[in-house]
Each structure stands twice: as structure tokens, then as C-alpha cells.
Amino acid sequence: MGARVVEPFIAIQVGAVSFVDEGVDATLDALQRLAGVNALFLGTPTWTRGTGGRQLPGHPLPDHGAQEYDEGWVGGNYATIHPEYYGGTILGPVGRAPEHPDWDIFAAVIPEAKRRGMQSYAWMEESSYAAALRAYPNFVKCLEVDPWGRPTSRPCFNNPDYRTWHLSMVEDYAQSYELDGLAWCSERPGPLNLLMQAPLTAAAHAELPTCFCRYCQAIARDKGIDVARAQEGYRRAMEWNQQVADGCLPRDGAFISFWRLMLHYPELLAWQTLWTESQHQLYRDIYGVAKACNPDLQIGWHIYHNITFSPFYRADQDYADLRHYSDFLKVVTYNNCAGPRFHRWVEQICRSLFADASPTEVYPLLLRLLQLDEASFDEIATTGFSAEYVRRETERAVEGVGDSCKIYPGIDIDIPTGPDLAQCTRRQVRDAVLAAFAGGAAGVVLSRKYSEMRLDNLAGAGDALKELATA
């Protein structure tokens, strides 16, 4: 008897609305037939349009599902909430999504997925900026604090009630459902990265450097960090950011004046490290709680797109460290939308840390620092990134984790970019999937959500699998 051939892991991110609109059986049949999907990243909880709801309003509707926008979409937890798991937090058992309130995505989908040999993962999106979260009772008591001592809009990783709330969801899911794993997503760059990469007012959801709450301050003091100096340094750095964004460059330029702040206030870097470590400690806690409930659960993290664009964020996200509390990493290698996204990112950093130079001057340097080889700055927004980018980033991640965990690159399919910008094609999806496996991936995650994908482009993943099978 020959050796058993192990099928590649082909996951897709899919939200509740797709199953409600199109039916569980019909949706699963389409995913298997078109793309060879054998794993589902089921979007719950999510409060963001990136993983929940139908197509973003204003963008073309795909060729399946309800042919109308869900303008009033809110999001939340699409599984049944079991209150007994939420007793240790002032947030309690809140968060049930108002859409489909009597429908449970896990109860409805997992049995049918198992019958087809498909795995089921909870795709948990932190959605830290979502306004709906701040409407929950007591949530505003869990917010990060800025250098002036004012609560901001996002919750703090070190707030015990916020931490316990997320760990309660993890325990609830792990104990209540026959899941195969959890994938947790947190897209935040940290306070120093925010200041360096763009004007603070440029973000879609305005952010301020954080967090200086009493819990973070206590951790800082334990580490020997001078809290008052850190607050003063960040206030000064925010003034620098605003001055540069307004086009009033200091006499010594944006970069040198910022570096001088770093020399005067080494606490700036210390606080970024504290913040990043706090995020990663929540990863460790989620990993430990899930494994305590079920050692067989596969636990992993969404590594967001800034790891491609920012050398500073890339330094924060060390694969060699992440591998110690990860069974897999879903590394975002969205090559089509990377073009317009990186074009925008370069423009914004040239209004902040690199304001002494133009985007066309900075772009080649960033390519070299990030080990990228893509089209010119003037072309990149319309061409997107190449499939070779997917291969190289996959290979880099695989080398970083060694044999400790699996790498599942995220493959973008019809992520909205806008008119006259890079557009997804069936061939581009096929090439990206092939490139991921050429780079050593153990599987891929088709992203961001099925409800925005065109069926023909989704079939590009199936084309790649057929080519791999005959190679």
C-alpha cells in the first residue's frame, strides 16, 4: 500500500451572512467544488466589515448571495453565549450579534462541515476600534489611556476585565463546540509605530499613542520604566507628529528631530516594547486557555499586513518568538491589494518620519529594507504586488518558525481596492496560491471573506490545486 497523500490545508474566511443568505449546504458545496476548501475560518466574533456582513456598501456586489447591501450591519458574537463562562469580568456575557439573533454559526455549520471532511475554526476578530463595542455596558471602563491620562477608543490588553472577557469567549467556544481550532486577529501597530508611520489624523479611525492606564503603569514600574518620562516623551512626540504633518519641518528635518526625541526619551521605545509584549502576552494566555480546554485545538494568529509595509512593525513581530505559542500563523500576503495599500502607506510615512524625502525617493529604500522587489511607485497601486512576493514572504515566515508551527499565507480574493486600482483576477489567485506552496506553506487561507469574493476568482484556488496535483 502506498503512502497516504496529505491534502494541503485550504481554508476560507466566511461569515454568518453567507450561510444565512445562501444556505449552509449550498455554501459548503460551492466552497469545495470551486476552491477545494477543507477548512472553514468561521467569522465570530467580529465587529468589522473586513470579516463580517455582506460586501462593503458602495463596492460591486459579488455574483452570489443577496444582491443588496446590509447597511445597518453591527456584528458581534454569532455563536450562543453560555453565561457561566463570563463571571470574572464586568463585561459579562455581552456581545451577541443583533443579526440572526436565534441562529448559531457553529451549531449550524460544524456538523455539516464534519460530514464533508472539513475542519472548523473560530475566526476571532478583536475589532478593537468598533463603535459597537463601546456601546456594551462597562466597556468604556476597559479603554486605553493616552499620555494626558484621557481614555481613548480602543480597549487595553492589560485591563483585566477586557482580557478575561476574551479568554471567556475562548473557553466558551472550546468547551461548548467541536471546533478544530481558533484563529485570533488583532490589527494594532503600537504607540511608537503610530507616530512614525503617518499623521495621527490620517487613520480611518483616529488613534492616539497609548496605553498609560493604571495597569500598564504598574507593569512599567515593575520593569523600571519611568512612567512620567514616558508620558512626557509621547506628548512631545505627538507635537512633533502634528508639526511635521502640517508641513512645518524642524530646522534639522523630520527624521533627525525625531531621533533626537528618542535619545532624550528612551522611554518612547521602552513603552512600544511594553505595549507589544502586552499584546503577545494575551496571545500566550489565549493559547494556554484553549489548550487547557482541549489540547488538540490548533491555535494561531493573524499577522496583519503592516508586516509587509513597515520595517518597524516587522521588527515587533518576531516569528522566532511567536512560534513558541502558535500552532500556525496566518501571515497576510494579500498581493493584489498590497499595491494600493503600500502606495498609501509610503505616502503617509512621508508625512511623518520620512517627511524629508518624497515618496518616490523613499519607496526604493523601503523595498530594500523589506526585501521586496516590486513595480515602481507610480505603477504599484494599479499593478498590485507579484506572486513572487507571496513566495518570498512565505519562505521568510517558514524559515522564521522552523518546524515549530505551520505557515498559512492569507490569499486575497476581491478585497475592495477602489476604481482604477489593482483588481483581483482568477489567474492572480491561482498564481498566489501556487507561490505560497512554492515558498513552503502548509496551507493557505482564502481571504478576507466569502461574501465579497467573485466565484470565478475563487475558482483560481481550485485551478492551483489541480496544477499541484498534476505536477
Q: What is the model's pLDDT at position 69?
A: 98
Strand partners, 446: 12, 411
Distance between CA atoms of residues 416 and 53, nearest Å? 14
CA distance 7 to 36: 10
Which residues are CB-neighbours of 166 under 8 A, at least 6 positions away?
124, 126, 282, 286
Closest CA to 452 of 141, 61, 39: 61
The residue type at 420:
D
Grid coordinates representing 117 are: 471532511
Query: 340: buried, middle or exposed (CB in 10 Å: 19+, 13-18, 0-12)?
Result: buried
What are the CA-CA distances from residue 346 to residues 252, 308, 354 (Å)?
22, 12, 9
Q: pLDDT tens digit string along 182-204?
A: 999 999 999 999 999 999 986 55
Q: What is the mean pLDDT of residues 343-365?
A: 98
Q: What is the pLDDT of residue 203?
A: 59
Mean pLDDT within 49-62: 96
Residues with Cβ within 8 Å of 218's Cβ and at least 6 positions away in sequence, in order, are none
| The three three-digit cell numbers of residue 280, written as one number | 503577545
CATH topology of domain 9-186+300-470: TIM Barrel (3.20.20)
pLDDT digits over 428-441, tens only? 999 999 999 999 99
What pLDDT is attached to residue 193? 97
Tell me the torsion sign for CA atoms 302, 303, 305, 306. Answer: positive
Lowest mean pLDDT among 5-14, 48-57, 381-390, 456-465: 5-14
pLDDT score of 23: 98
- CB count within 10 Å of CB 420 equals 9
pLDDT band at 206 (very low <50, low <70, confident <90, very high): low
The dihedral sign for the CA sequence 59, 64, 429, 203: positive
The closest of 156, 129, 266 to 210, measured between CA atoms, is: 156
Is residue 407 within 8 Å of residue 332, measured between CB atoms?
Answer: no
Mean pLDDT of all residues in 195-218:
87
Here the cell at position 263 is 535619545
Q: What is the 3-state composition of the chain as percent helix, strand, coil, each rounded to the nearest 5?
A: 50, 10, 40
Contact 271, 224 (CB under 8 A): no
What is the model's pLDDT at position 205? 54
22-35 mean pLDDT: 98
Cis bond before residue 142 (omega within 30° of 0): no
Beta strands per DSSP E along 84-189: 119-125, 143-145, 151-155, 181-185
Per-residue pLDDT tens digits for 130-148: 999 999 999 999 999 999 9
Residue 152 and residue 418: Cα distance in Å, rounded?
A: 30
Residue 241: its H or E element: helix 227-245
Grid cell listed for 66: 443577496
Distance CA 211, CA 158 (A): 9
How high does pLDDT run on average in the chain?
Answer: 96
Q: How far apart are CA 147 and CA 159, in angstroms?
A: 17
405-424 mean pLDDT: 97
pLDDT value at residue 134: 94
Q: Which uninterrupted H or E stretch holds 328?
A: strand 328-331
Q: How far apart are CA 33 and CA 25, in angstroms?
A: 12
The residue type of 182 is: L
DSSP output for 282-297 = HHHHHHHHHHHH-TT-
Helix crossing, 455-470 with 24-35: angle to 10°?
50
Phi and psi torsions of 303, nearest 5°: -100, 110
Q: Give SS3 for 243.
A: helix
* pLDDT band, residue 207 (cuts 50/70/90): confident
Q: What is the pLDDT of residue 4?
A: 42
Lowest mean pLDDT of 68-72, 203-207, 347-351, name the range.
203-207
Q: H helices within 402-439, ranges in order?
A: 426-438
Is residue 2's pLDDT more than 70?
Answer: no
The mean per-residue pLDDT over the stretch 411-425 comes to: 97
- Tell me the C-alpha distance between 229 and 135, whole Å: 34
Burial of 405 (0-12, 13-18, 19+ CB in 10 A): buried
CA separation for the pair 58, 116 (Å, rounded): 35
Query: Model's pTM, two decimal places?
Result: 0.97
- 109's CB contacts (< 8 A; 6+ apart) are 19, 24, 28, 40, 42, 120
Question: Which residues, including other chains, have CB under 8 Å from residue 55's CB and lie 6 or more apart?
Answer: 61, 62, 69, 416, 451, 452
